[in-house]
Amino acid sequence: MEEPIAVPDLGIAVDAPDDPTQPTKVEIAAIHHLAELALGSSGQASRCANFLLAWADADGYGAFDPTDVWACDTTAIRDIVTVFGLIARVAEYPELLDPTLRDDLRAIAVKWRH
């Protein structure tokens, strides 16, 4: 049996899901915060957009460069790590987890890809 991989404590408190195939309230809040940042004009806005758009459609919108987090503040980094854990756990696209994200993702794509 393989030894489990040690994961560093990043100070991210994620509430345990009742149904592991569904996002938690903390994860949904992180997604919406990243979308809000991506629609803004801060230096990290394009980085948050890259992350969300890569999740939504990497073939259409391009991949996410992990070094993008170097230009993000601690809160955005925590949100990215939280959402990345969600992506790994549920294996689903954002708008299928929360249909309210569809309009935000469309607006992010228009802002950063058109």
pLDDT at residue 67 greater than cutoff 80: yes
Instruction: For the chain, give the mean pLDDT.
Output: 89
pLDDT at 62 over 60: yes
| Backbone angles phi and psi of 35, in degrees to 5 | -65, -40
Alpha-carbon distance 20 to 10, whole Å? 21
Average pLDDT over residues 29-41: 97
User: Left, alpha or beta for 94 (phi > 0: left; psi -120 to 50: alpha)?
Assistant: alpha
Give the residue extent of every domain in the chain: 25-113
Q: What value, to the nearest 5°, has the Cα angle with vertex 79 and ends 34 and 61? A: 50
pLDDT given for residue 6 in this prediction:
54
What's this model's pTM, rounded to 2 decimal places? Answer: 0.83
Rounded-to-integer distance, Cα 90 and Cα 22, Å: 7
Nearest alpha-carbon partner for 55 in 15, 94, 6: 94
